[in-house]
Structure 1
Amino acid sequence: MSVRVGLGFAGLPFSSAAALRAWIDFCEGSQVDSVWLSERLVSPQPFLEPISALAVIAGQTERLKFGVNATVLPLRDPLVLARECATIDYLSGGRLLPVFGVGRDTAPEFKATNRSPAGRGERSNEMIQLLSLLWSGESVTFEGKHYQYRDVMISPPPVQQPLPLWIGGSSRAAIERTARWGTGWLGGIQDPSEVAPVIAAIKEAAAEAGRVIDEDHYGTGFPFRFGSWDEPLVERYARSLSRTAPDVDPRSHMVVGGAAEIADRIGQFIAAGASKFVLRPIAEGDAEIMDQSRRLNDEVLPLVHA
């Protein structure tokens, strides 16, 4: 099992584009494997448009991988998305890590873009099949309920063949979607005891579909902080998490403490079957974000890779 640890954020926590670029430079020169952005169209908080932001990151780096956790398929056009991803992967020399989801039915983005959340799973299933076909570089003819194409081809194709096609979500539909068409899975707000049965269910469903997903292609993530639970920032983060996921105990998802606690949680997830990680620093301000990231690199990653 090849363990890789990336860093990501839900929004844009930096004070300027220069501060973000400085953090990307740090990650490029560190043991961090990848950086991750999130997608949000409607939010009072700052968010970058992730696909165009990844293009900038690709041009700034040579080693670092990068992805969106997760691109919401029903808000996108499959042909445009396929070409965007193929272009970024081609220009970066094969460093894009695509992850896709269907979004929440209550997400305000559906109303804002005049789209219905109804049937988003079915539309997403067709899109996933289309993405895989289009990224092959071959001519594609597709007759689906929602999308129809005749003799469409993307050139140049992605460098990675096949380009990773990871799926997010832990519902039964997401498990089946991953098993039938995905090449990997990335978990969300879950602890190790919740991740293990999802991975097992994906493997079982994949076997029933006559497919095998690489053992190294299961991942998850969690927020972390070198600090203590009584810090006001940590308490605010926990309250925010409770609003986002009312059924989740923040203490079971967040990891707050020292290097040993963070490394131990990674170890628990590895035992549950996950080997790829997107860790999110709980930090405020450019200097603190950099400090939390640097401490993860210097104190935790040597323990993980020992």
Structure 2
Amino acid sequence: MTTRLGLSLPQTHQYDLGRDVPDVARAAEEIGYESLWVLERALFPEPATQGLYGVPGLPWPEAYRGLAEPLVTLTLAVSATRRARLGTSVLVAPLHGPFQLARTLGTLDAASGGRVVAGFGTGWSLDEYAAAGVAPFEERGQVLDEVIGVCRAVWGQDPVVYEGRLTKIASAVVAPKPARPIPILLPANSKKALTRLVERADGWMPVAMGVEQLAAQSRQVRDAWAGQGRTEPLQSVARANLQYTAKAYDGADRAPFQGSVEQIVADLAAHAEVGVEEFFLDFADAPRDAQELKDLAAEVYTAARAAGI
């Protein structure tokens, strides 16, 4: 079975969002990409008060400096495309008010004809939580649970009724409704996250950081999915963070998806053997502009399909 391929939309500082997001989205769909993705990084602390992912001393990448708001970015791609799914990987859901987030995603799905994929996570940045003012960082797991519950309620039949810590809907009509049930995908990078995934989500959203690691995670998630009594197929979409270089990277310290187009495609082929349904490619801020992003996206896609991926 052919692995589905997606592409991250331009959100970083070198792009003209109003012009480049629709342009890249349209081009990606014409190339053959089946999905388009955004990530969330709400701010860039300067000086850094916390390392990347909460790891002391690990610097934040420059790609996170001034990253465009994800749902606005997806909205810019809606009218420029017709079939590509529009996903978040990930949206730090507890930074958003649950009810308003559910309404926004439902409206976006209705406007796109049923193409939204909601990839949610809890995030790790203390600064982002402090700025958002929705909930304390320590309660992020509980808030994500409430976001999922509110989304299911708001996207379901009217009248909508919900009673939570942050959200109370006595009885109301909430529209527009999504064109179809929006799939919710979650990571599984902790025991609590894995439990939440198999109990409440429609699928899994890992980061591809090595074949052995991805394969081990896949076995764990699929075993837990079956153990929960889930018999429907597990949807799976993996992020591939590319470190593109024009020439092949020949250092012994080469990371997965680092190097030339040929090296990236070879890594993609190896990871695809794990059985994840879909991979999407994030070039981060390597392209100088939208034209270079489109050219690289076309080159990788063509090479991947020629390799049988």
> Which TM-score band applies after superposition, normalised by the shorter structure?
0.7 to 0.9
188-197 or 109-118: which moved more?
188-197
Correspondence 1:248-259 to 2 at 5 A: 251-259=254-262
291-300 or 44-53: which moved more?
44-53
Cα distance in 2 between the residues matched to 1:29 and 1:190:
28
Contact 1:199/1:218 (CA < 8 Å) preserved in 2?
A: no
Provide the residue aligned with 1:242 in structure 2: none
Contact 1:185/1:218 (CA < 8 Å) preserved in 2?
A: yes
User: Aligned AA for 1:279?
Assistant: L
Which of residues 201, 207, 221 in structure 2 aligns to 1:202?
A: 221
Cα distance in 2 between the residues matched to 1:298 and 1:267:
13
Cα distance in 2 between the residues matched to 1:163 and 1:250:
40
Contact 1:176/1:202 (CA < 8 Å) preserved in 2?
A: no
Cα distance in 2 between the residues matched to 1:223 and 1:169:
18
Q: Please report how far the alpha carbon of residue 189 of structure 1 lies from its aligned counterpart in structure 2 after TM superposition.
A: 5.5
1:187 aligns with 2:206: yes
Question: What is the aligned length?
Answer: 285
User: Aligned AA for 2:137?
Assistant: P
Structure 2 vs 1, CA of residues 55 and 203 (structure 1 numbering), >3 Å: closer, same or farther?
Answer: same
Instruction: Output one character per residue of 1:267-288: Cα deviation in whole Å (capped at 9) or x when no partner.
Output: 3223223121111126231143
Cα distance in 2 between the residues matched to 1:196 and 1:25:
33
Unaligned runs of 5+ in 1: 236-248
Provide the residue aligned with 2:304 in structure 1: 300
Provide the residue aligned with 2:56 in structure 1: none
Which of residues 104, 124, 128 in structure 2 aligns to 1:109?
A: 128
TM-score by length of 2: 0.82
1:219 aligns with 2:220: no
1:23 aligns with 2:33: no
Which of residues 80, 85, 97 in structure 2 aligns to 1:65?
A: 85
Which of residues 125, 137, 141 in structure 1 aligns to 2:145?
A: 125
User: Aligned AA for 2:111?
Assistant: L
Cα distance in 1 between the residues matched to 2:174 and 2:2:
31
Provide the residue aligned with 1:265 in structure 2: 267
Contact 1:11/1:45 (CA < 8 Å) preserved in 2?
A: no
Contact 1:169/1:175 (CA < 8 Å) preserved in 2?
A: yes
User: Aligned AA for 1:173?
Assistant: K
5-14 or 129-138: which moved more?
5-14
Contact 1:203/1:212 (CA < 8 Å) preserved in 2?
A: no
Cα distance in 1 between the residues matched to 2:253 and 2:171:
49
Cα distance in 2 between the residues matched to 1:180 and 1:10:
33
3-state secondary structure, aligned to 1:188: coil
Correspondence 1:133-144 to 2 at 5 A: 133-144=153-164
Q: C-alpha root-mean-square deviation of aligned residues, in Å? A: 2.6
Instruction: Output one character per residue of 1:98-127: Cα deviation in whole Å (capped at 9) or x when no partner.
Output: 1100111x4420122234200211221122
Percent of aligned pairs sharing the same letter: 22
Contact 1:169/1:188 (CA < 8 Å) preserved in 2?
A: no
Provide the residue aligned with 1:238 in structure 2: none
Structure 2 vs 1, CA of residues 145 and 289 (structure 1 numbering), >3 Å: closer, same or farther?
Answer: same
Cα distance in 2 between the residues matched to 1:143 and 1:206:
28
Q: Please report how far the alpha carbon of residue 35 of structure 1 lies from its aligned counterpart in structure 2 after TM superposition.
A: 1.4
Cα distance in 1 between the residues matched to 2:209 and 2:168:
37
Structure 2 vs 1, CA of residues 138 and 199 (structure 1 numbering), >3 Å: closer, same or farther?
Answer: farther
Q: Please report how far the alpha carbon of residue 214 of structure 1 lies from its aligned counterpart in structure 2 after TM superposition.
A: 1.4
Q: Please report how far the alpha carbon of residue 12 of structure 1 lies from its aligned counterpart in structure 2 after TM superposition.
A: 1.7
Q: Please report how far the alpha carbon of residue 144 of structure 1 lies from its aligned counterpart in structure 2 after TM superposition.
A: 3.3
Cα distance in 1 between the residues matched to 2:138 and 2:169:
23
3-state secondary structure, aligned to 2:170: strand
TM-score by length of 1: 0.83
3-state secondary structure, aligned to 1:63: coil
